[in-house]
Amino acid sequence: MKTAVLGFGTVGAGIYEMLSQAKGLEQGPVLVRPGKDDAAFKRTSIEAVLSEPGVEAVAEAMGGIEPAFTYAMAAIKAGKHFVTSNKALVAAHGIELSAAARERGVGFLFSAACGGGVPFLHNLSIAVESDDIVSLGGILNGTTNYMLDAMQRRSLSYGEALKDAQKLGYAEADPSADVSGLDALRKIVLGSAVAYGVLPTDGLYNEGIEHFTAEDVKRIQARGLICRLVAKCAAVPGDKVYAYVEPVLLKASAAECSVLDNYNLARYEGKCSGPMVFIGQGAGRWPTASAVLRDLDCLLKGRLYMLSSDCREGSADNEACRHSYYVRLPGSFTGCFEVKSYSESDGTAELITKPMSVKAMHELASRLRADGADIFFAALED
């Protein structure tokens, strides 16, 4: 199957190279920006790519929502299978792309968009055919896991750790989606769409690691805890899901704490299968390209979709999820918390809250930040 590639960066160049050796697949043209067509296989317009004789599938690795969405629709309407590593695109337009692909009778797969090389969505989409999914989640962003690990195990500063993650090709072109937790949130949204047929578009919360400092590392290490950025999702009554991302403080014995560097840990719990855990590289050229190639191979074998035909947009409800939080903030801002324990040193307070809802904690932090407070917060497993 001759496959065109859109984008020739970290992932796109990896896909193109892997296509040369993959059984049943063949290199097609590659879309690059005007002025960057320095090789015979490169094209500078989507029309030139789609009109190339023999192209049956298109693998998108440009990133962003536009023009990726326009190009994806053009490819599908031209009768090409469409696979992508772009979670921003699928979180924003997955339902429309899926409907268009089904109408045209071509495939639409995106397992590289969640977990890099980890075959998480792939397995989840198979599991839902025979089991009910109780919950899903895990460490879904390689950049922030790399950074948290480097800060806590190797004492790198936040800035040094981010620079390394960018150099290694893990971070997005604009890393703010990584560090804010938005990238992981988009991935859990895709997980929800696959597991529950609900792609939530509102009521979602993401707290990232932007407020985590070298001083916080020392404070939580003094408590014998390790920080990881974790996504969580499950169905809740009323045809909704809960879905959120936030830092979590864990004991060293937790499975998440053995997940180092750019690795991800994605898990789901099936009603019959019980817990399933997948660990592997969540970012980087070859792991991600390998996931795209896996999707192309699924197409060859007739497995065309990971979203059900009745998958729909919906809302998240994070009110019912409650747990205690660790909060570090200026001592003058602590009045609005119900606390289990509290300490203060040089004007900086550390407190453990009584259980409160995810919605309440995330909204309170954003109100206090708007009032000028520098806050780091993380969930505690009760």
Query: Which residues of the chain form contacts with ligand HSE (CB under 6 A)?
Result: 116, 141-143, 170-172, 178, 183, 282-283
9 near ligand NAP (CB under 6 A)? yes
Given 42, 80, 87, 187, the catalytic residue? 187
Q: Are 241 and 133 in contact (CB under 8 A)?
A: no
Site string for ligand NAP, 311-330 (x = CB under 6 A): --------------------
Per CB under 6 A, which region of 6-14, 93-101, 231-239, 247-255 contacts ligand NAP?
6-14
Q: Residue 62: which of ligand HSE, ligand NAP, none does it interact with, CB under 5 to 8 A by kind?
A: ligand NAP
- Burial group, residue 183, by CB count within 10 angstroms (0-12, 13-18, 19+): buried
Q: Between residues 185 and 368, which has the closer beta carbon with respect to ligand HSE?
A: 185
The residue type found at 225 is L
Which member of 1, 4, 11, 293 binds ligand NAP (CB under 6 A)? 11
Minimum CB distance to ligand HSE, residue 214 (Å)? 21
Q: Which of 27/262 has CB closer to ligand HSE?
A: 262
61 binds, among ligand HSE, ligand NAP, none (CB under 5 to 8 A by kind): ligand NAP
62 binds ligand NAP (CB under 6 A): yes
Separation of CA 61 from chain center: 15
For 190-338, strand residue ranges (E) read 198-202, 205-206, 225-236, 240-251, 263-270, 274-281, 312-315, 322-323, 325-330
Size of the site for ligand NAP (CB under 6 A): 25
Residues in the chain: 382
Kindly state the tokens that stand for 46. 């989507």
Q: Mutual orientation of helices 10-19 and 285-300 as an angle, nearest 10°?
A: 50
Cβ burial of 380 (10 Å; 0-12, 13-18, 19+) is middle
> Token pair 């337009």 is at which residue?
93
Q: How far is the CB of 290 from ligand HSE (least distance, A)?
A: 13
Residue 170 found at the interface with ligand NAP (CB under 6 A): yes
Which of residues 171 and 209 has its CB atom nearest to ligand HSE in the complex? 171
Enumerate residues 6+ apart whose C-beta is below 8 A from 324: 340, 352, 353, 354, 355, 356, 379, 380, 382
Per-residue binding string, ligand NAP, 77-96, x by CB under 6 A, is --------xxx---------
User: Is residue 187 flagged as an active site residue?
Assistant: yes
Catalytically active residues, by annotation: 187
